[in-house]
Each structure stands twice: as structure tokens, then as C-alpha cells.
Amino acid sequence: MVAATPGGVAAAVAAARGGASVILLEETAHVGGIVSGGLTNTDIRKKGAVGGLFAEFVRRVREHYEKTYGADSPQSKACQGGHMFEPKVAEKIFREMLAGEKNIRLIERHRVVRARVAGADGAERDAVLGRRIDGPPPKDFGPTARLVAVSAEDLGAPGKMTEFRARVFIDATYEGDTAALAGAPYRVGRESRETFGEPHAGNIYVRFGDRHPLPGSTGEADGGIQAFCFRFHMTKDPANRVPVEKPRGYNRDDYRHLLADIAAEKVMRLRDAIQLYPMPNGNFEVNSDHPHPHTGVPSESLDLAEENWGWPEAGPEERARISRRYWEHNEGLIWMLQHDEAVPESLRAEALQWGFPKNEFTDNRHRPHHIYVRQGRRIWGEYTFTERDTDPEPATGLPRRQPDGIAVAEYAIDCHGVTKFDPGHPGVREGYFYIDFQPTQLPYRILVPKCVDGLLVPVACSASHVGYQPIRMEPVFMALGEAAGIAANAAIDAGVELRAVSVPDVQREILRRGGVILYECRAVEPEGL
């Protein structure tokens, strides 16, 4: 397994519980990906649509707060049944889940840098990097080879390499790095509206929550991916507060559109510029805000579009540079709201009440250690999930079913902005859309890459740009990771390739473990479901 993201943790635990011996390689010194990195407001709406190991994680969160503070404590109430939590609690629980399986070996601070494959003749060779293929699928993807080994560099001892061999590999990176190293073809960016017949593909302007493209939408393809940001935490508690600093690379011009909103008295409070979610013990998770459909503000927030387009294919140094730029932009926005003389005194005073919590991210100056990679590579798999797969069946109006369904996508089709705000299109950001649909099945085939046997990809899976948006939620990644771990065991036990595994057997095992592979509901559910 590569990457201890939530999807990777789920894959490792699922495989281990099926009897497999598992090595989990993680590039950083943390497990849990963006969830332990700050995304602690769980992106799920219909909680019955995702079960299995995600439900176990939620239960463990709830039990942590109940046992630590009491079932009727403010902390237990604030965790909302286990769906809201502190980053350090998320990492603690992910580590406990891994440590609870005696046949999992977690190896941190190791970066996979090479792969070896075996061809049809059984001869081994170094893998050639997978091709980037944008647009419609080609008629022929080329020959298939079997992934047999990966080599990882020990980041604590640069140049020291270790080779790892396995029957099955699972790439749970957000970027699809291992799949690309192994030779899997992939795509980056946006397809055109015509490529898969998707109404919201390509260049698009649409109001948040609406599905009708606005004038100026061309539907043209490009290499753009949606904006990143950090999901950092803040507090108003003076005893737990670390001041926000002016970043070395601070650039006031980055916030000119937000300053224009402030000058027009459209942004008067901190919550008009960013989103704040209360967490147990008084800290708040921070997220970028979208232009609200009725007010059109904020024009810009913490999302920094365009400057991340190279991230999916970038090397470690370039990703580090992009990550620094994003952090300087994000911390700089808060500092600007606290200190810029163009900001009204009342807003500055409100913003100055906030700082970073001393009790989080203690090894990184209380700043988060993980940028929110909302989108990286997407492999070409045996099936491409598109916006059309979220359409209901015409005959019944029910969600479309997949014969090899192994998980459910239940969140909205939610894509953050792809290009920077254009004042010529007020009230919207190009590429930003949020569109409801009924929960729909995700097929096993999206995990199986073209051209590479012995590999499953539950995070950077096979989907169009639009189709990826309801998949890219961490509960869904955990469900796909769990399915991948179960499928890995099934393939090993049966002595078959992953693309030939008995999916009905995988489906039955998912259900036996409390997972969900089908969820049908009314188009509009009662409040609270």
C-alpha cells in the first residue's frame, strides 16, 4: 500500500483483516492525509450511504470524546456523533486502527520513486512512466504489464533505497503517483462538454447550487484543476492562541477582489470572507468560501486558483514550492483582514481575536502539515465515471445501478474554482459548481487501471473531471479503499488478476463488514437524515 491517506488506511486495515500481510508506505511523518491535516468537518450528507471502516472511524471519534470528557459533555455534543473532531484526534484514531492489526507494518518518511513490472513473457524491467492522455479515450492503450515491485527512498537517509515486492499494490496517493510510475495512463484537467456529453464539463460559469450555465461558458477543455487551500484551525481562546504572522511572501494584490468587496461593504464580518466550523474544545476549522448565489460574495477567499495546475505531475521540490505559496496566501489573507488599513476597524478587531491553536500541529508551528489536494491525476481505468453516471434511470427515476457497484457517491457534484476571479463575471468563479444528485453506485472497474495488473487505485481513480467531484470526499475514499483491500485479498486467494476478481464475492464481503454498495432514497429527504 502506498500513502496513509484515509483511503490508504482503510485499504490496509481491510486487507489485513482478510489475512493479508500489509506494508503501508507513507511519505510524511503523519497518517490520515488531509483529515488529520485539518479537514475535520466531514463531507457527508446522507450518513447511511457510507458504512464499513468509515463508520468505524466515526464511532471511534464519538467514543473518544465520550470516554475522555463524558457522554453529555460539550466536547461530545460538538463532535456531532463523531463527524466533527480535532486533527490530532483523527490522527490518533487512524494510528490506532493500523496498530490494531498485527500484520500491518507502517513505514513513514519513505517516498516511492521507482517501479518494476513484468511483461507477458515474465521478464522484469523498470517501468516507464504512464502516458498522460487527455480528451476521449484512445482506441488502444497499449500492452499490459504486471507491477511486481516498487522502490522507496528513506527521506531520513537520502539516497537509501528499499525495494518492496508484493502480490498486489494499492496506490492511495491523492495524485496517483505510484500508478503513473507503474505505467498506468492517466489524465489531468478538464474534458470538453462534448467528450463525454457532460453538461458541466469544460470552461463554465454557474451560480453556486444552480445547474444552469451562464453566458460566457464555452465548455472547452483545458489542463485546469480546481483550486487548493489549507483547512487550518483557529481559536479565539487567548490561552491557546498563537498570533497570525505576516508571511515573508505576502502580496497585498492577491486580495484585491476581496478588498473591493470590503470597500463596497459586501464583506463586513470574518464569516463573510471564510467559512468557520466549530470543533470540540473550542477550535474552529477554516475553509475557503464560495460566492453565495444571492450576494455574489466573497469574490475570492482562501482558494487560490490556477497556481496549482502543475501539481499533479510535479516533483517533490515543485510541490513544496506550491505548498509554501498556498500557505503564504492563506495566512496572508487572515493577516490582511487583521491589519490592513483598508479593512474597517470593526472587521480588523474581530479578525484579531483569532489565532492558531497551540494544541494542534505542534510539530509545525501550529500550522497544518498537509495542503488540501482536491484533485490530482485520474487514471484511465476499465470504466470512466462521468457526470452522466449521476443521472437517474429514465424508466424509474431511481439512481443508476452498476453491476459491479462497490461503494456509493452521495455528496454533491462539488468543484471549486479553476481559474481566478474575473470581474467581468461578477458573483461567480469560473469552474465552480455545486450540483445535487441522488446517491449513485461506484463500479469496481474505476479502481482497475489500464495497462497495469497487480494494482488498484481507490483515490486517483478513473473518472472525468466532473465525474470525480462527488467521488473526491474522504468518506468515499475510505469506502473505495476498503473495497480495494477486500478485492486484493480475493484476488490473492483465488490466484487471479485484480481485473478478473469475482466482484460478487467482493460485494458480499463488503456487506458482511457493514459496508454500503447501494443507497436509494427520496429525492429530498426529511431534515436530519
- Tens digits of per-residue pLDDT, 273-309? 999 999 999 999 999 999 999 999 999 999 999 999 9
* Cell numbers describing residue 503: 466482484
Q: How far apart are CA 140 and CA 197, in angstroms?
A: 21
> How far is residue 151's CA from residue 113's CA, in Å, rounded to a whole number?
6
Distance, in Å, from the CA atom of 78 to the CA atom of 68, rounded to the nearest integer, reads: 13
Q: Which residues contact 527 (CB under 8 A, 6 or more apart)?
A: none
- The residue written with cell numbers 463586513 in the block is 268
Residues 6 or more apart in contact with residue 259 via CB below 8 angstroms: 252, 336, 340, 342, 343
Do 471 and 410 meet the contact criterion of CB atoms below 8 Å apart?
Answer: no
CA distance 507 to 515: 9
Average pLDDT over residues 201-217: 97
pLDDT per residue as tens digits for the range 20-45: 999 999 999 999 999 999 999 999 99
pTM for the model = 0.97
The pLDDT of residue 520: 87
Sign of CA dihedral 344, 259, 206, 400: negative
Over residues 65-94, the mean pLDDT reads: 98
**Residue 183 confidence (pLDDT):** 98
How far apart, in whole angstroms, are the C-alpha atoms of residue 456 and residue 452?
Answer: 9
Q: Tell me the sheet residues that pair with 41.
A: 84
Average pLDDT over every residue of 54-82: 98
Question: 63 in the Ramachandran plot: left (φ > 0), alpha (ψ -120 to 50) or beta?
Answer: alpha
pLDDT band at 522 (very low <50, low <70, confident <90, very high): low
Residues of CATH 3.50.50 domain(s) within the chain?
6-190+374-416+436-512
Q: Residue 270: name the closest of 361, 371, 329, 344 by CA.
A: 344
Closest of 260, 205, 360 to residue 273, by C-alpha = 260
pLDDT tens profile 432-472: 999 999 999 999 999 999 999 999 999 999 999 999 999 99
User: Which grid cell sits at 132?
Assistant: 498522460
Q: Are 290 and 411 in contact (CB under 8 A)?
A: no
253 vs 520, which has greater pLDDT?
253
Neighbours of 171 (CB within 10 A): 35
Position 414: which residue type? D
Taking the alpha carbons at both ends of the chain, their separation in whole angstroms is: 35
Mean pLDDT, the chain, rounded, equals 97
- What is the pLDDT averaged over residues 368-376? 98
Phi, psi of 272 (to 5 degrees): -80, -15
Residue 527 has pLDDT above 50, yes or no: no
Mean pLDDT to the nearest integer, 192-200? 98
Contact assessment for residue 28 and residue 108, using Cβ atoms and an 8 Å cutoff: yes
528 pLDDT exceeds 70? no
Per DSSP (E only), the strands in 318-439 are 356-357, 378-379, 405-409, 413-415, 433-435
Which H or E element spans position 152?
strand 145-154
Question: Length of the chain in residues, anyone?
Answer: 529
Mean pLDDT, rounded, for 205-225: 97
Angle between helices 52-69 and 474-494 in degrees, nearest 10: 120
CB atoms within 10 A of CB 227: 29
Tell whether the model's pLDDT for residue 526 goes beyond 70: no
Average pLDDT over residues 478-496: 98
In CATH terms, is domain 6-190+374-416+436-512 a member of 3.50.50?
Answer: yes
